[in-house]
Structure 1
Amino acid sequence: MESKAEEHVIIDRFIVPKAAMQGFRSRIKLSMQIIGQQAGFVTDRAYEQIDYKEESTYITIVTWETREDLERSMPRVQAEYEKLSFDPSKTMRNLHITLDRGIYTEVKT
């Protein structure tokens, strides 16, 4: 029996100061557009905490067909950022945004 390759999911959890949310949203939209054009991309989702005072939690979930697709996409996405003079790390530092990232596979229960 042939086994199907496991999808891999990147889950990013951003902590975003309220004052930075508008700029953050525009940059996330750009990032998701670039990521969505990569080979092996399956789907993406985004979630924002709806009741916050000084900062919000924003979660993105991006699914890839395989781990190899995910890994091959990273330098391609970075190259697209460079064409646009966009440095995500610098932007997050400047906006005081923190990121917690994990790569996951589905657990069959």
Structure 2
Amino acid sequence: MTTPTPASHAASIFRIDRFVVPADALPAFMERLRFTQRTLDTVPGCKQNLLLQREDRPGEIDIITLVEWSNAEAIAAARTTMQERYAEEGFDPAAFIQKLGVQADMGVYRNA
């Protein structure tokens, strides 16, 4: 039996990122994620913005971010906003993740 998608989520677009973070890198990584989360919360069209954590393996923490956007325009605006913030700071997300030894799997999803 399939569960119907609520109409309020039918057109939504979801950005879901999964990170495997070494325990010693967690404080710096979480500080950065919280900055990103606060920034994305200000972008129109952000319907929900979750930051989830799981500790299954010694020395590693799984972090999942899930952001629900109302439509493609909203997610595009979010991407532009974050690129502008990173440019202002001179922040390179890929270099940051690599420096901390974080493994990342990031993607954009739609309701199936």
* TM-score, scaled relative to structure 2: 0.83
Partner in structure 2 of residue 99 of structure 1: 104
Partner in structure 2 of residue 15 of structure 1: 20
Aligned length: 105
- Structure-2 separation of matches of 1:8 and 1:67: 7
Partner in structure 2 of residue 58 of structure 1: 63
- Structure-1 separation of matches of 2:87 and 2:39: 12
Structure-to-structure mapping, 1:1-109, within 5 angstroms = 6-107=11-112
Q: More deviation in 81-90 or 19-28?
A: 81-90
The alignment yields a C-alpha RMSD, in angstroms, of 1.8
- Structure-2 separation of matches of 1:79 and 1:16: 26
5+ residue gaps, structure 1: none
- Structure-1 separation of matches of 2:37 and 2:57: 24
* TM-score, scaled relative to structure 1: 0.85
Q: CA deviation at 1:19?
A: 1.2
Partner in structure 1 of residue 3 of structure 2: none
- Structure-2 separation of matches of 1:57 and 1:50: 6
